[in-house]
Chains A and B, each alone.
Chain A
Amino acid sequence: MTLIRPLSRRGFLNMGAAAGLGLMLPRTGLIQPARAAGPLPAVAEEEAVIAWGYVGPTADEGWTWAHDQGRQAVQNAYPKLKTIYVESVPYSADASRIYRQFVSEGAHMVFANSNYGDFLYDVAARAPEVAFFECDGRSPMDNLGTYYVQHWYPSYVTGVAAGLLSKTGKLGYVASFPVPSVYSGTNAFLMGARSVNPSATVQTIVINSWFDPQAAAQAGTALIDNGCDLLFGIMDEAAYLQVAEQRGAKAVMWNTDIRRYGPNAYVSSIVVDFGAYYVEQVRRRLAGEWTPSQDILPMGQGVDRDAWGQSVPAEVAAQADAARDKILSGWSPFTGEIKDSKGNIRIAAGQTMTETELYNWDWSIEGVSGLDS
């Protein structure tokens, strides 16, 4: 696999050790130490402008909604500063225009959700006094940090429940793009399912969008037509949950508790909460302590499985939660032997994948179809 930058495993271990300190994440960079000569200067609260660029609409009840809750948490914690945001920032040169506009409006911090890559770096390079954040990013700069969540652990936990709930053992996945989040999500989910049903498989359909309810619904329908009776995915909205509800299937969701769109189909969700993280980062910037870091919020502190759905039997929930407890106490399910979709052994027996490898996962395990070409 290709690692763009080797992450230090120690950084992640430190992060685990720091878990007790809430969101005081390690100062030892996960990817590389902060290169900034020093922290960015302090900003008075009443002058501060904090900007967010969102991938979708805030009303999506998903990813963007969750980040906007984080923005509101910042506004509540610091009522005198000004927060601004733009919804549905496209992945085109328009993204650079929007981020540059934030800078010209005097933003002191810019959060990009997520993965705007070069469109963001071009702006960050020309605005050294502004603190940038790229969610799910991998290329830190002097004034750009990255942050994400260890979603693979709750994905594994919900995968255990999925393996127990699915009658056919055929799980479906509505994917956005073949990117690491999708690889780690599908792989972790299937490993969870296979821990209870060794013959389970995951079939994937890529729809080239994070927010396209119509395409997501079509993909969900196609997966159920192919025999899948439980859907997972990484969509910012609830379309495939509604499909599952209509077709009598089950669904695991992402971002938020959206069971009201399919109360019978709803199994759980990979819920995220960036509020505390955002408040802490803003506090550092205002206090003149901010330097870029690479943070991945661990399970239980920014990402977790949601409360189980009403149709999940208590014994299924208990078995999945047992896996969750094991992970929280330090066990990793991502231990070899792990084969890729072509049957090659990628992780040798007894070897445990590092958090770096999990974060950058770019190959499918055996049993996941539709991602590797």
Chain B
Amino acid sequence: MMGWRLQRLPSAKPRLAFLARAVSVILALLVAGLVTAAAGFHPFDLGAEVVSSSFGSRFGIEDLGLLLTPLIYTGLAVAVGLRIGAWNIGAEGQFNIGAFCAAGVALFVPGPVWMVLPLMVFGGALGGAAWILVPTLARAYADVSELITTLLLNFVALLLVYYVATGPWLDPSGHALATTARLPVAIPEFWGIVHWGFPVAVAMAMALAILFALTRWGYEIRISGSNPGAARYAGIPVRRHLITVMLMSGAIAGLGGVMEVAGTVGRLQGGISNNYGYLGIMVAVLARAAPLGVLASALLMAVILNGGIILQTQGLTTNTVLAVTGLILLFSAIGDELAHYRVIRTTAQRA
């Protein structure tokens, strides 16, 4: 007797993975198109509008660059953690703290730009790392799941930012969403409105890719992540690596916050993180925790989010846009997972 069964492969073949990703995005767009057509819109016009608005003008591309930047940072933060099997759900909080520290330095440390700016960057990264310190130690020494601890600290960070922005650091000039004064020091511009946070993010992704792929440290991290028991047996200091990597993850997210507050927004305020921390989880998962993959998936996410904004101005409600965004992510996730399987023919075993 002949049969068929699915076999799961530990890692997807690159070509298959790419094909699955492409098919899933097309399928998702098809479904989204059908839904919007059913709602009385012209899907092709909408699609053309999204493409031309995003890529058709220099403003569109600059906008995309600005949106892409924080997604790379938070995506990298989550991806780095995943390399050693740690889920940093707290990138949102570390992002907020990074922004908080940078704003604090910019507002209260007098001095020339060449001194204050590095201090902001350093302070923000340190703040992000400090924010994940307790979850890291709890995971490393008491085996407390970092999923919950990092997540819960997000709310503390958010409320802290709200508190300072509406209280002690408030700029009383009457903004509906209370904010601090405009920071006197900004990340310099790199290309149009895109600031230096973007090239730094890309460089960081490349450096991390090299670090993970070509160094002994990167190799040990990978082993520690995929089989901690074996790693420990092989004499790899798993705990030390875990602590280093998680702190790195927090620092990267914090750096994202620095760039956002000092490069894009210019003031510290409650909504500064704009869900980038949570979106970073999706970016990292879509990238399968590969640093260079983060660049691609962050771009995909930025195009989707930007497309969402364009669709809203075309009269689609926020909910429809969220549904379309969710569809694309859902299909991509399914496609990714399917790429791990292959169909094999089986012969029935004799009992």
Contacts and interface: CB of A to CB of B under 8 A. Distances in A.
A binds B: yes
A4 interface: yes
B182 interface: yes
A64 interface: no
A87 interface: yes
Interface string B249-266: 000000000001000111
A101 B270 contact: no
A92 B265 contact: yes
Q: Is the interface of A mostly helix, strand, loop or mixed?
A: loop
Contact of A104 (B53, B176, B269): B53
A97 B50 CA distance: 13
Interface stretch (A36-44, A151-159, A177-185, A290-298): A177-185
B177 A84 contact: no
A256 interface: no
Contacts of A94: 274, 309
Contact of B176 (A84, A88, A136): A136
Contact of B174 (A91, A100, A102, A180): A180
A206 interface: yes
B210 to A, nearest CB: 31
A4 B162 contact: no
A181 B176 contact: yes
Query: Interface residues of A toward B: which range?
Result: 35 or more
B177 A97 contact: no
A346 to B, nearest CB: 14
A114 B176 CA distance: 7
Contact of B310 (A1, A101, A126, A181): A101
Nearest to A118: B266
A321 B271 CA distance: 41
A117 interface: yes
Contact of A208 (B168, B173, B270): B270
B59 interface: yes
Contact of A178 (B53, B166, B271, B274): B166
Contacts of B337: none
A225 B185 CA distance: 46
A308 to B, nearest CB: 29
B177 A177 contact: yes
A176 interface: yes
Interface in A3-46: 4
Contact of B271 (A84, A87, A92): A92
Interface string A359-373: 010100000000001
A210 interface: yes
Interface stretch (B222-230, B293-301, B312-320): B312-320
Most chain B beta carbons < 10 A, residue from A51, A97, A118, A126: A97
B326 interface: no
Given A97-B309, A100-B63, A91 B176 contact: yes
B182 A118 contact: yes
Given A100-B59, A104-B59, A118-B182, A86 B173 contact: no
B313 A360 contact: no
A28 to B, nearest CB: 21
Nearest to A58: B317
B246 interface: no
Q: Give the one of B167, B172, B269 with max A CB within 10 A.
A: B172
B66 interface: yes
B270 A362 contact: no
A98 B309 contact: yes
Contacts of B182: 118
Which of A1, A102, A118, A181: most chain B CB closer than 10 A? A118
Nearest to B317: A87
A210 B166 CA distance: 14
Interface string B117-133: 00000000000000000
B192 to A, nearest CB: 10
A288 B66 CA distance: 35
B178 interface: yes
Contact of A51 (B167, B272, B306, B313): B313
Interface string B178-192: 110010000000000
Contact of B66 (A4, A93, A117, A362): A93
A88 B179 contact: no
Contact of B168 (A92, A97, A126, A373): A373
A179 B166 CA distance: 9
Contact of A362 (B174, B313, B318): B174
A329 interface: no
B166 A93 contact: no
A93 B176 contact: no
A91 B260 contact: no
A87 B166 contact: no
B170 interface: yes
A114 B260 CA distance: 22
A284 interface: no
B63 A115 contact: no
Given A114-B176, A208-B166, A88 B318 contact: yes
Residue from the set A1, A4, A101, A122 with the largest chain B CB neighbour count within 10 Å: A101
Given A101-B53, A104-B53, A104-B59, A93 B177 contact: no
Nearest to B158: A208
Contacts of A79: none
Contacts of A55: 176
Nearest to B273: A92
A90 interface: yes
A283 interface: no
B267 interface: yes
B244 interface: no
17 contacts: A1-B172, A4-B173, A57-B318, A84-B314, A90-B274, A91-B271, A92-B271, A92-B272, A93-B260, A93-B265, A97-B309, A101-B310, A115-B176, A118-B265, A118-B267, A178-B178, A373-B167
